[in-house]
Amino acid sequence: MTLELRRPLAAEAVPPGGREVLVEANPAECAVLARRMGLPALLSLNCAFRLIPVRSGVIAAEGHLKARLVQICVVTLEEFETELDERFTVRFLPQGTERDDPDPDAEDEIPYHGGVLDLGEAAAEQLALGLDPYPRKPDAVLPPTGSEQDEEAVGPFAGLVGLKPPP
């Protein structure tokens, strides 16, 4: 699998006092990430990480992801620009040391191998998690349904009123 946003960082490069790292996607990376996420466009993406080693090989991360993107409104099917601003926490840990039975309330675990974290892929995953699965343009209004148009027709057979032949 080719990753669209690679930002490798050696785990040993995180000092005991912690380290801050900013991941910013360039326009080409935004374009391929938009395709991966099924978005019309990803205009910008940056993610600030605060990395803190907690024990042998385990690194806690606090992140702040900001993105400008274009989505398709589920009501009008029109494209609209929106922003994503998400804070999150994750734990990077050596591959093979993940929990067998993940606790849904625990921090997400991101395994790494070869002593190298991939902060770019972590940012891409957080973008995917932060996307609204049913994006709605702020001024979008649902069209009236048949029952709202014909207020006098009520009950389970109200939809059949229009099928009645004229008198």
Give the pLDDT confidence of 4-58 residue by residue, as tens digits: 889 999 999 999 999 999 999 999 999 999 999 999 999 999 999 999 999 888 9
The answer to whether residue 36 sits within a structural domain is yes
Closest CA relative to residue 38, chosen from 72, 81, 74 = 72
CB 90 within 8 A of CB 50: no
How many CB atoms within 10 Å of residue 52? 15
The answer to whether residue 149 sits within a structural domain is no
Mean pLDDT for 56-76 is 94
The answer to whether residue 12 sits within a structural domain is yes
Mean pLDDT for 70-76 is 93
The answer to whether residue 126 sits within a structural domain is yes
Mean pLDDT for 118-134 is 95
The answer to whether residue 148 sits within a structural domain is no
Q: Is 20 helix (H, G, I), strand (E, B) or coil?
A: strand
Alpha helices of the chain — where are they, by DSSP H? 27-37, 119-130, 146-149
The answer to whether residue 153 sits within a structural domain is no
- What is the predicted pLDDT for the residue at 142? 78
Per-residue tokens: 8: 């490798």
Identify the domain containing residue 18 by its residue range: 8-141
Domains: count for the chain: 1
